[in-house]
Amino acid sequence: MIQPPTDMSDQVIIRFADVHKRFGSLVVLDGLSLAIPADRTTVIIGPSGAGKSVLLKHIVGLLQPDQGSVYFHQHCINELSERQLEPIRKRIGFLFQMGALFDSMSVGENIAFPLRHQGLNSERDIQRIIGEKLAVVGLSGSEKKMPGDLSGGQKKRVALARAIAMDPEVVLYDEPTTGLDPIRADVINELILKLKEELKVTGIVVTHDMASAFKVADQIVMLLNGKIIAQGTPEQIKTMENEDLRHFIEGRANAEDLKALHRL
């Protein structure tokens, strides 16, 4: 077993230490090491299939590394049983890529779901928390609405209210702005900033949306072929001389991408 890194400072809340993950012959994470600082927002960028969602799933123990370790504070996530993971999962909110709400449940019941699951049974407390979280995401008074009556942006905000229902220390946002128009996307960006500033939430945001990345990130990490190929502050990333990074953030196809197109 790999020992917890000795340089783990108080400010690091999550750490990947030489994580390898493959599915069959497909190598997805190839010796990935990454420190996530507390109370900051780390943005993970990278092409489709790079392993961004896989990386997030390791943090809550939905996937286990084949080799290497993932730490949350001093806990080695991949050595914990499902039962030991429960209290840790409470401390981490997950806004899933598909953000799915339960369509047959009202907005309020969607937000109540994790609370009831965690054993909270005071109806008064549940209703209070629903009201508080809807206020945070700017949807006060929407408790009784059904998901089918909401716009895409509103659904994302309800999913975010659900992800923060348990007052998590960390929120994992998997493509929170995908599919939203620029204005609705910016509402989500502002929420990510607000959660960090007002509630001291540590954020990990996976996105393809570079405007969002530059707006919310304290650090940006680019994943490619299972490895980190660039890491830095938004300012550093903007000027970093790395061909793959430049192609990605400028949205330009390279010769290889175009060759694939000609083969079609």
Ligand X SMILES: Nc1ncnc2c1ncn2[C@@H]1O[C@H](COP(=O)(O)OP(=O)(O)OP(=O)(O)O)[C@@H](O)[C@H]1O
Residues that bind Mg ion (CB under 5 A): 52-53, 97
The neighbour count for residue 61, using CB atoms within 10 Å, is 22
Separation of alpha carbons 192 and 254, rounded Å: 32
- The least CB distance from residue 22 to Mg ion, in Å, is 17
Task: Give least dist CB 97 to Mg ion, A.
Answer: 5
Task: For residue 54, state whether it binds ligand X (rule: CB under 6 A).
Answer: yes
How many chain residues touch ligand X (CB under 6 A)?
A: 12
95-134 mask for ligand X (x: CB under 6 A)? Answer: --x-------------------------------------
In terms of CB distance, is 97 or 231 closer to ligand X?
97
**Residue 181 · residue 151 · CB < 8 Å:** no
Angle between helices 182-199 and 152-163 (to 10 degrees): 20
Q: Which is nearer to Mg ion, 52 or 156 (CB)?
A: 52
Q: Which is nearer to ligand X, 39 or 66 (CB)?
A: 66
Largest CA distance in the chain: 61
- What string marks each residue from 10 to 49 as x (binds ligand X by CB under 6 A) or -? -------------x--x-x-----------------x-xx
Find the shortest distance in angstroms from Cβ 116 to ligand X: 28
Q: Which is nearer to Mg ion, 97 or 231 (CB)?
A: 97
CB of 44 to ligand X, least distance (A): 8
User: Least Å distance between CB 61 and Mg ion?
Assistant: 18
Give me the residues that bind ligand X (CB under 6 A), please: 23, 26, 28, 46, 48-54, 97
